[in-house]
Structure 1
Amino acid sequence: MTTADVLRHSVEHTHENLGAWLEGARAMVGTREQPRKALEDIDTFLAIASRHLGAVDAVLVPAVRHKVSHSSRLVHDYVHAERELEVALAHIKAHAYGSTYESGYSWPEAWAEVDECLARHRTRELALADALAEVLSPDALDQVAESLQSAEATSPTRPHPYAPHTGIAGAVSRKVLHTVDAWWDNAEGRMAPEPPPPPRPKPGLVWQYLLADPRFDEEEPIT
């Protein structure tokens, strides 16, 4: 993987992780010994997805707005896809906790909606990453990827489709909602695993020498 690919691979890695958690939540495995297991799986998926959405709003969207000349359409399309996904995630949460508004809404329909919205969101998020790759240096892209991961720790853990997403209002909203969500997560004993680190580029020969940590790729000839 080249350094210039780090941001795109970070986004792809995150969506692969989201897909895996989605399948676990969809299965809704529950046992008599663990009656809340189904809700825990769903809550974990919702928390991971929501934190990533908040991180994109905090890092990728401002970077595109400041660095990409044709940012308006990219940001507009992304935020539209993001809100659609958050609405779908909110349906999942309401359905899991027995909301009366979800009585005519089956689980297969709910999960199918999340599948479609998550796929559209991935496309729009990758468009942001690709636009940045055209204007930023490899080192700057690496820094954006690291900032994206770091921002997940301070993002809301629940979907908030109707809260502000961009600008100063979005930043204030994320900070307030992160605090509120953290309070409710603690009150309900709801925890989410730490986001996995994004894939890193292989160190070059010079760095391998300086770190005394040679790496040998069996598929590449030794030079």
Structure 2
Amino acid sequence: MPVGTTDVLSSSIRSAHSRMAERLAAARAMEAPADRPRDGYERIDTFLATTSKHLHAVDAVLLRPVRKQVADGPHLVHDYLRAARELEVVLAHVKAHEYGSVYETSFAWPEVWADVDDALGDHQRHECELGVRLTAALDDRELDRLTVRLYHAELAAPTRPHPYTPHTGMLGLVARKVMHAVDGFWDTVEGRMVPEPAREPKKPPGRVAQYFLADPRFDEEENPTL
């Protein structure tokens, strides 16, 4: 099988960052009705949870194959982890700012969001590079498998940034499991909304399935005779 003939992993990464950008835009528009002051905070919580879960899923799924199967993989992982930790630190500041930490009183929201823009853009560049390099190194079956694993890892990932916990190896695995349980407890206590990642795209049914579903579909290039 040819290597890297599918764009499924890179497409998944781009889709994830598109969702994060949309939720960041919603979070910045924090004005809420007077009778529902928490509405703005819910949008911030949604952005934080979405982004944190994706970061943890990348740590769990993509970094090991990059290190093992991509040329110059250790260097790529090192650079990626720097960008990811910087983004996690910024996300931690957003959460502290949202809940009125005394350490955040010298910062205004426009300054906070500008830092998020910079960190998220830097992280996206590094993660997209991981996707491109993995696509060039792995066959289609492996790329499909990694994309599915990335989706399922997000479902079980911590919902908050943890920049100072281990990110890789066995210690990273243990830390994610512990933080997932801890974050789940505090999400319940604080009533935070935690969105799930977008559902996996379903493959179109084969010809036999189309027959039984009475739903024939033809390729655009085909001109079926009526």
- TM-score of the alignment, normalized to the shorter chain, above 0.5: yes
Which residue does the alignment assign to 2:47?
45
SS of 1:165's partner is coil
2:32 to 14, 30, 36: 30
Which residue does the alignment assign to 1:101?
103
Which residue does the alignment assign to 1:116?
118
**CA–CA separation in structure 2 for the residues paired with 1:65 and 1:214:** 44
SS of 1:211's partner is helix
2:141 to 126, 139, 142: 139
Which residue does the alignment assign to 2:91?
89
1:208 to 185, 206, 223: 206
Q: Over residues 92-137 of structure 1, what are the superposed CA-to-partner deviations in whole Å (9 max), with x where a residue is unaligned?
A: 1111111111111111111011111111111111111111111211
Q: What residue identity is the alignment partner of 2:178?
A: V
Structure 1 residues 181-196: aligned runs within 5 Å: 181-196=183-198
Deviation (angstroms), 1:68: 1.6
Alignment of 1:12 onto 2:14: yes
- The answer to whether the Cα contact below 8 Å between 1:46 and 1:158 also exists between their aligned partners in 2 is yes
**CA–CA separation in structure 1 for the residues paired with 2:128 and 2:218:** 31
1:176 to 168, 175, 178: 178
Deviation (angstroms), 1:215: 3.9
TM-score, structure 2 normalization? 0.90
- The answer to whether the Cα contact below 8 Å between 2:154 and 2:197 also exists between their aligned partners in 1 is yes
2:23 to 18, 21, 34: 21
- The answer to whether the Cα contact below 8 Å between 1:208 and 1:214 also exists between their aligned partners in 2 is no
Q: What residue identity is the alignment partner of 1:210?
A: V
- The answer to whether the Cα contact below 8 Å between 1:156 and 1:177 also exists between their aligned partners in 2 is yes
SS of 2:137's partner is coil
Q: What residue identity is the alignment partner of 2:150?
A: L
Q: Single out whichever of 143-152 and 158-167 deviates more from structure 2.
A: 158-167
**CA–CA separation in structure 2 for the residues paired with 1:18 and 1:216:** 35
Deviation (angstroms), 1:18: 0.5
- The answer to whether the Cα contact below 8 Å between 1:78 and 1:125 also exists between their aligned partners in 2 is yes
Which residue does the alignment assign to 2:222?
222
- The answer to whether the Cα contact below 8 Å between 2:5 and 2:139 also exists between their aligned partners in 1 is no
Paired-residue identity, % = 50
Q: Whose Rg is larger?
A: 2
Structure 1 alignment gaps of length 5 or more: none
- The answer to whether the Cα contact below 8 Å between 1:10 and 1:198 also exists between their aligned partners in 2 is no
Structure 1 residues 139-178: aligned runs within 5 Å: 139-178=141-180
Q: What residue identity is the alignment partner of 2:168?
A: T
Closer, same or farther in 2 for the Cα pair 1:215/1:13, shift >3 Å?
farther
- The answer to whether the Cα contact below 8 Å between 1:3 and 1:142 also exists between their aligned partners in 2 is no
